[in-house]
């Protein structure tokens, strides 16, 4: 399994409305015991739909900024 970054879900903030699972375009999110979970990790496209539509902001996507190495200038 690779180290895929997934949306984080704050289960204390989550109200269990199910919008994230309903609106996930790849069906990677499902409701389990009235709480969302990314059950198909390989299918998560990290599109941000779940984060955008969550009415209580319980879902967050973390982005990693990768800078290219400094180029060597020739003088």
pLDDT value, residue 13: 97
Name the pLDDT band for 52 (thresholds 50, 70, 90): very high
Tell me the residue range of the domain where 13 lies: 8-60
- This model's pTM is above 0.85: no
In angstroms, how far is CA 67 from the centroid of its own chain?
22
Q: Are 23 and 17 in contact (CB under 8 A)?
A: no
CATH label of the domain that carries residue 19: 3.30.70.20
Q: If you average pLDDT over residues 17-24, what whole number do you get?
A: 97
Q: Are 9 and 19 in contact (CB under 8 A)?
A: no
Name the pLDDT band for 74 (thresholds 50, 70, 90): low
pLDDT value, residue 2: 57
Flag whether 32 is in a domain: yes
Q: What is the pLDDT of residues 53-69, one digit of tens each?
A: 999 999 999 888 889 99
Domain total for the chain? 1
């Amino acid at each position: 399994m690779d180290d895929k970054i997934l949306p984080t879900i704050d289960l204390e903030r989550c109200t269990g409305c199910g919008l994230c699972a309903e609106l996930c375009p790849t069906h990677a999110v499902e409701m389990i015991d009235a709480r969302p979970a990314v059950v198909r990790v390989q299918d998560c496209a990290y599109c941000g739909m779940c984060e955008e539509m969550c009415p209580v902001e319980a879902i967050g996507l973390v982005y990693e900024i990768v800078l290219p190495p400094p180029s060597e200038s020739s003088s």
